[in-house]
Amino acid sequence: MSSTSGEIFKITTFGESHGPGVGVVVEGIPGGLVLDVERIQQELTRRRPGQNYLTTPRKEEDRLEILSGLYEGRTLGTPLTIFVTNTNQRSTDYADLETIYRPSHADYTYEIKYGYRTPHGGGRASVRETIGRVAAGAIAAQILEAELGVQAIAYVASIGPVLLPEDILPESRMQVDESLVRCPDASTSAEMIKHIEKIKKEGDSTGGTIKVIVRGVPPGLGDPVFSKLEADLARACLSIPACKGFESGSGFAGTLLRGSEHNDPFVPREEGKPPLLSTTSNRSGGIQGGISNGMPITLRLAFKPTATIHQEQMSVNTRGEAVRFLAGGRHDPCVLPRAVPIVEAAVHLTLIDAFFRQRAVHPDWYRRFRKTDGR
Amino acid sequence: MSSTSGEIFKITTFGESHGPGVGVVVEGIPGGLVLDVERIQQELTRRRPGQNYLTTPRKEEDRLEILSGLYEGRTLGTPLTIFVTNTNQRSTDYADLETIYRPSHADYTYEIKYGYRTPHGGGRASVRETIGRVAAGAIAAQILEAELGVQAIAYVASIGPVLLPEDILPESRMQVDESLVRCPDASTSAEMIKHIEKIKKEGDSTGGTIKVIVRGVPPGLGDPVFSKLEADLARACLSIPACKGFESGSGFAGTLLRGSEHNDPFVPREEGKPPLLSTTSNRSGGIQGGISNGMPITLRLAFKPTATIHQEQMSVNTRGEAVRFLAGGRHDPCVLPRAVPIVEAAVHLTLIDAFFRQRAVHPDWYRRFRKTDGR
Amino acid sequence: MSSTSGEIFKITTFGESHGPGVGVVVEGIPGGLVLDVERIQQELTRRRPGQNYLTTPRKEEDRLEILSGLYEGRTLGTPLTIFVTNTNQRSTDYADLETIYRPSHADYTYEIKYGYRTPHGGGRASVRETIGRVAAGAIAAQILEAELGVQAIAYVASIGPVLLPEDILPESRMQVDESLVRCPDASTSAEMIKHIEKIKKEGDSTGGTIKVIVRGVPPGLGDPVFSKLEADLARACLSIPACKGFESGSGFAGTLLRGSEHNDPFVPREEGKPPLLSTTSNRSGGIQGGISNGMPITLRLAFKPTATIHQEQMSVNTRGEAVRFLAGGRHDPCVLPRAVPIVEAAVHLTLIDAFFRQRAVHPDWYRRFRKTDGR
Amino acid sequence: MSSTSGEIFKITTFGESHGPGVGVVVEGIPGGLVLDVERIQQELTRRRPGQNYLTTPRKEEDRLEILSGLYEGRTLGTPLTIFVTNTNQRSTDYADLETIYRPSHADYTYEIKYGYRTPHGGGRASVRETIGRVAAGAIAAQILEAELGVQAIAYVASIGPVLLPEDILPESRMQVDESLVRCPDASTSAEMIKHIEKIKKEGDSTGGTIKVIVRGVPPGLGDPVFSKLEADLARACLSIPACKGFESGSGFAGTLLRGSEHNDPFVPREEGKPPLLSTTSNRSGGIQGGISNGMPITLRLAFKPTATIHQEQMSVNTRGEAVRFLAGGRHDPCVLPRAVPIVEAAVHLTLIDAFFRQRAVHPDWYRRFRKTDGR
């Protein structure tokens, strides 16, 4: 169903942007794990609004509270619940919206679906819902890194027409975070910032693309057919608000190549039964037949421009009458930089579930690919 | 898990391309339904190899057998099982492959994952697996059409560099099927055919894109967060072999627009509580906040060129040694036309489950949007 | 997984008895429902410890807070989260337990399973976990009553050797609650109370049985095979702490009868296609072939005596040494009366999910059996 | 949903008793496993009708066919499908039943639920459906035995009023199978056989109880709350046709004991962190807090007398008229002996899923409790 995801490492998010708060229940965390809570908080802070002058002026501390599953810093193996109180609810800003279906928002579809909705904007459609995923993803990331050495790094690859050159790849999350717009190149970042400033001044908004590179993924994750790694990653990414496109490996550009150009030649990497292989190119994006092949997983995501703008628009009110309106309230001209930790969380959550499913059935595989014997 | 999909209308596919056959178990079909079995067979026939001289010479009748769930032409409400016997297993063709990991195939990843594999190519990674989905999708399509008037039409929008002009939209599945390459435009089709013939002669392969338009979708389908309609559609589509990219609505191109250009203005359509609305543009692709808004759903998918080519390639064998090889056996230079019914099935299967989930909880919604009172 | 139950009306409980609190996330609630929050609180109050001198002296208010899913008294259709803060954590009482595995408690099994545990007794094994289910069950009960007229009434049918005569059936929950031990017969109740007082004085504990009668269930709920109504009810009931036995209809006693004695003869009840039937006896307990037949559903459950007693016992400590110990802390000599609302919640949660699954696929069934057209 | 069970080791059964056949799709089998197909066939043969003069004269070979998932005797890790053709469909016997709802059968409930049914008796309600589970259970049993040394033995503990003395426990499945009624005691078996002969002569039927002892279960299987081992075992057992009661450990009899009598004292068994313990009694039935404690798991199940009898009965026909009728056709006076392998399958299927879930999250646990390092 809607708010639950994962089969073994399973999360359930809850909360509206204008209720008491938002949170997540995480099942399937191993017991006895020393949890780095500060690292979870860091990811929430990377995601929170009001980080700098470019984003929405909505300022929220987004301090997490742990309601269950932890005792003296170690996980109990039971559901771990994280809750973040909403501290900045300016519902008066939204008074007018009660009667207007804002264009390209979820106001109308929620009302048709449920027959009822909270008038204050998004409810569950708000990007605030992603807090739960980011928190859960930060737990998944700790386990994946310790057990397998997996690390996903997302970064902004374009904002509107401003593109990061294809050949620039970030080496670390720190490198990404050095940029205000989370683009791992100083000069492209500067251009992107300039673009956002302009858009903001005009009361408009912009979209862009985010790329992801996941290093350290062992071969063998993902299942044939409906749980192909690409399929599950696509589902996780397209469940992020404003995401409208997904590519794995060569993606749409790959459709222009011939098979002889697109195939990734194998070369030997490590002896064994079976031997480990590398490929000399990576148009498969680290996934073949829906299963990881040990090369870096590469993804690219499209985010549409934010629907909230400070310009007069046409729409319809709840009585069915055409109206003109000008949205007040806070407004984020570009969500891309804040979406980076959300995308990483989506990727980590997908990978840990694939990992646990594989380990459940194939312990020999785990013996071969776990990073250390120490756990 | 891997081979099961859906929550209420649930399918489980099974079978390898070189075993006795392939099939599907479908749960969640209403009892007492007069099933149009011939229509299921038609979809299998649209999907089967060897339809014309352009595709693989592997000729299979792909005649379906119903093993359970039907009695005197009506569904029993119990699991309906469809089985298709494999009649054309030329496993000798694959003798060499036993020891070679073919580039960009699933040979290597399957062996790493399971520690064992059938040497004859694909196993579950074969496009033959999709027979089960196509059969199940044809059942879903019958229900969706009768209950809601929903119809998904997929069509080939590009093959390699040959593109269908953006403004051409098919009106019917028949119009699509008139073209050998399932492209709803005669002159583009002719170019595509020429391109495939050339590629085939060179022993190479080509990819392309498929577009989908789904008409008649009522507003209110899809769930917030993890079961957003885009998320579930993306998962279904990216689980199709060779699919590497997914777009909903404006997709990647939409990232270049501003919010003021991208937002879809609402206009009144029908009175009621709440009123029904239309939008004057459809960059949302019929989905807002993960929920259908009543406008046509529009998707675009990327398919990479087939990995099997008739040219010498470098690879590695199971002993870990670098080798040169030239694949024998059958070879399909372009799977796009055959992927059209598979994509439609994926879409119908996603929509029927969203429909049943919505009807389960919101019967008033169903009373408003069902097509006829006659059922 | 462990803490999630249900397919459409889905609940996830969380929280340890000695952490910040316990709660539940409920998915699948229809939007726009006027929720009777006071009734949810009433059920929590029926369940809470310290209701009278017979139960544990642990006094908790168990006041619920709603963290999500409700706006101005109406449900939003989104996950509804209920949280109850733990106010009475006397963890010092448990100091000794840190090193002792208490007999017939979950201390040992939790430690083996997770490699780590909270030393303060139960964690998730505590009956405190059931708060979430009781809250969710109270929501399910409201919907079931309004939509179908279903009502489950549970009652204490024996405490140790003191048995309620077979022919006494409660007419209402109020009648049950008039008794301090929730037994719908004054004289049996008096005996039960006397028995508990005696057991308590001796520092011992007692088990007993709970019966359930569910009236108003329409025929057609429950699915063949793995989701037979009995199977799902059994799972829900045996997931209640201390429950060790389950019977549906004639249960174990029915094994002594012959088919000719056991079969329930049908008689006509109401015309229609198909006609509605009654049975003149009800040894099937309202369920045939795993599907409700319209007669009252009858269940009987066994609850073992509470493991915590105030008598010296032998056990083993965490160093593997045999030890003698006398448990301090609070102690509930008989949990049966408090288990009554928990059992009702388990039954309501099972039935609402079966109801929603049936409505999802068979709207005509719903049209026939819904109580009013008013919804 | 109805016909699918398990989270990682997942089975989907299909087929009606009067259609082409019945079968099962099994997901979650490790790849590369040498499957003992003959052992699967043996379990089907233990289950099949017509084994001896006491059971139904319906004679079916019940030869299995493997449709997918196996290659040269080894599992592929992909869904393994087993199919058994129905060879003995005497549908003419059932001609009259088309219009009569047989008492205590599923005819009426199926018709109400689905609005349609096959007139030939059971459909999915037939015990023939259990073929799929028995086949899947035989695969699970092989893995459980090899990996952990687990073995479940079920046996008939009573038929009508004829009871096996409590202290007799079978040591092996062979010992159980030596008895025509699968009761591990020669003199009780003789009495049971006499009882069945008498019942059969009178055209009547009888119920009884089956007990299960599971040896070799390591501590730590089962999850708190909704997947308590008892809860999942109860669900699996009560999904077997005719099962109306379930007990774990002391069950209903345990409700008469006091805590001081019921608690199982721990004693040291093996050093370690944590140490392994035994209990000197086993009223917990090997399960504490829903998790196995390493002692044998003990269950007891109630089976009602078969509904089909050769005596005149009152019922109602599909036009809603009261009728008298005498059922023709085949008739099994006592299903208990044939239910023994079905119960074992239910137990093995539950345990393997709990095992895989535990291994998925806690590899250290697996390292400690796996039987051999050889796998």
For residue range B162-207, list pLDDT tens digits in order: 999 999 999 999 999 999 999 999 999 999 999 999 999 999 999 9
Straight-line distance from the first to the last Cα atom of chain C, in angstroms, rounded to the nearest whole number: 34
pLDDT attached to residue A374: 46
Interface of C with A in 16-45 (CB under 8 A): 16, 19-23, 25, 27-28, 30-32
pLDDT attached to residue C49: 82
Q: Are D22 and D87 in contact (CB under 8 A)?
A: no
The DSSP string of D352-364 is: HHHHHHHHHH-HH
pLDDT attached to residue D373: 53
Reduced to 3 states, what is the DSSP secondary structure of residue B176?
helix
Lowest mean pLDDT among B320-329, C159-168, C228-237: B320-329
Distance of alpha carbon C343 from alpha carbon C127, whole angstroms = 12
CB contact under 8 A, A361 and D224: no
pLDDT attached to residue C375: 42
The residues, any chain, with a CB within 8 Å of residue C308's CB and separated by 6 or more, are C102, C105, C205, C327, C329, C331, C332, D259
The residues, any chain, with a CB within 8 Å of residue C374's CB and separated by 6 or more, are none
CA nearest to B76 within chain C: C224
- Reference B247, options A243, A183, A314, C225; nearest CA is A243
E strand or H helix that includes residue C66: strand C64-68
Phi, psi of A62 (to 5 degrees): 55, 50
Structure tokens at A374: 């120490």
Question: What is the pLDDT averaged over residues C244-264?
Answer: 98
Straight-line distance from the first to the last Cα atom of chain D, in angstroms, rounded to the nearest whole number: 34
Question: What is the pLDDT averaged over residues B278-298?
Answer: 98
| C332–chain D nearest CA distance, Å | 11
pLDDT attached to residue B95: 55
- Reference B39, options B345, B265, B288, B295; nearest CA is B345
Distance of alpha carbon A40 from alpha carbon A26, whole angstroms = 13
Q: Tell me: the pLDDT tens digits for C165-174? A: 999 999 999 9
Examine the pLDDT at D185 and tell me if it is beyond 60.
yes
Examine the pLDDT at C10 and tell me if it is beyond 50.
yes
- Residue B269 Cα distances to A287, A293, B284, angstroms: 45, 51, 17
CB contact under 8 A, C362 and B30: yes
Interface of C with A in 93-112 (CB under 8 A): 110
Alpha-helical runs (H) found in A149-286: 173-177, 186-201, 229-238, 259-262
Lowest mean pLDDT among B202-206, C178-182, C317-321, C330-334: C330-334
∠B131-B134-B135 over CA atoms, to 5°?
A: 85
Distance of alpha carbon B133 from alpha carbon B114, whole angstroms = 24
Examine the pLDDT at C321 and tell me if it is beyond 70.
yes
Q: Is B171 on the interface with A (CB under 8 A)?
A: no
Q: Is D266 on the interface with B (CB under 8 A)?
A: no
- Residue A21 Cα distances to A107, A201, B374, C136, D130, angstroms: 20, 31, 45, 20, 48
- Residue A71: CB atoms within 10 Å: 19
Residue type, D167: D
CA nearest to D25 within chain B: B14
Q: Which residue has the higher pLDDT, C113 or D122?
A: C113
Interface of B with D in 121-150 (CB under 8 A): 123-124
* DSSP-assigned letter for residue A25: E
Q: Are D223 and C2 in contact (CB under 8 A)?
A: yes
CA nearest to C27 within chain B: B361
Q: Tell me: the pLDDT tens digits for D314-342? A: 999 999 999 999 977 667 899 999 999 99
Examine the pLDDT at C95 and tell me if it is beyond 60.
no
Question: What is the pLDDT averaged over residues B56-69?
Answer: 84
Question: What is the pLDDT averaged over residues D37-48?
Answer: 95
What are the per-10-residue average pLDDT scores of chain A (375 residues)? 91 93 97 97 91 70 95 96 86 62 94 89 82 98 97 98 97 96 97 97 97 98 96 98 98 98 97 95 98 98 95 94 85 93 98 98 96 60
Q: Give the neighbours of chain B: at least 3 Cβ pairs within 8 Å.
A: A, C, D
| A157–chain B nearest CA distance, Å | 11
Work out the mean pLDDT of chain C and round it to a whole number: 93
pLDDT attached to residue A375: 42
pLDDT attached to residue D96: 57
Q: Is C282 on the interface with D (CB under 8 A)?
A: no
> Strand order in C4-5's β-sheet?
C4-5, C10-14, C21-27, C80-85, C64-68
- Residue B252: CB atoms within 10 Å: 23
Phi, psi of A222 (to 5 degrees): 100, 155
If you search the block for the tokens 């209950």, which residue do you land on?
Answer: B147
| B312–chain C nearest CA distance, Å | 49
| B285–chain D nearest CA distance, Å | 32
Question: What is the pLDDT averaged over residues C349-366?
Answer: 97
Domains of chain B (ranges; CATH) run 4-249+284-369 (3.60.150.10)
CB contact under 8 A, C30 and B361: yes
Distance of alpha carbon B263 from alpha carbon B283, whole angstroms = 7
CA nearest to A224 within chain D: D78
pLDDT attached to residue D61: 85
CA nearest to C21 within chain A: A67
Residues of D in contact with A78 (CB under 8 A): 224
Work out the mean pLDDT of chain D and round it to a whole number: 93
Q: Which residue has the higher pLDDT, C229 or B2?
A: C229
| C42–chain D nearest CA distance, Å | 23
Half-sphere exposure of A285 (CA within 13 A, CB side): 25
Structure tokens at A45: 């802070």
Residues of A in contact with B109 (CB under 8 A): 219-220, 288-289, 291-293
Structure tokens at D111: 């018709």
Interface B–C counts its CB contacts (< 8 A) at 49
* DSSP-assigned letter for residue B123: G
Examine the pLDDT at B56 and tell me if it is beyond 70.
no
Work out the mean pLDDT of chain B and round it to a whole number: 93
Burial class (CB in 10 A: 0-12, 13-18, 19+), B220: buried
pLDDT attached to residue A318: 93
Reported as a pLDDT band with limits 50, 70 and 90, residue B124 is confident
Q: Is B77 on the interface with D (CB under 8 A)?
A: yes
Q: Is B6 on the interface with C (CB under 8 A)?
A: no
- What ipTM does the predicted assembly reach? 0.96
- Entry field: residues in chain C: 375
Interface of A with D in 187-246 (CB under 8 A): 224
* Residue A163 bridge partners (DSSP): A158
C92-122 residues labelled b (16+ CB within 10 A) or e (exposed):
eebebbeebbbbbbbbbbbbbbbbbbbbbbb
pLDDT attached to residue D374: 46
- Reference D297, options D361, D339, D343, D366; nearest CA is D343
Q: Is A203 left (phi over 0), alpha (psi -120 to 50) or beta?
A: left
CA nearest to D16 within chain B: B68
Distance of alpha carbon C360 from alpha carbon B9, whole angstroms = 10
* Residue B24 bridge partners (DSSP): B13, B82
Q: Give the neighbours of chain D: at least 3 Cβ pairs within 8 Å.
A: A, B, C
Global pTM reads 0.97
CB contact under 8 A, B357 and C8: yes
Q: Is B298 on the interface with A (CB under 8 A)?
A: no
Reported as a pLDDT band with limits 50, 70 and 90, residue B57 is low
Lowest mean pLDDT among A221-225, D249-253, D323-327, D369-373: D369-373
Q: Are B285 and A244 in contact (CB under 8 A)?
A: yes
Question: What is the pLDDT averaged over residues B336-342?
Answer: 97
pLDDT attached to residue C374: 46
Q: Are B29 and B80 in contact (CB under 8 A)?
A: yes
**Pairing label, strands C276-279, B312-317:** unpaired
Reduced to 3 states, what is the DSSP secondary structure of residue C302?
strand
Question: What is the pLDDT averaged over residues D261-282?
Answer: 96
Question: What is the pLDDT averaged over residues B52-78?
Answer: 87
User: Among partner residues A109, A235, A268, which is closest to B220 by beta-carbon distance?
Assistant: A109
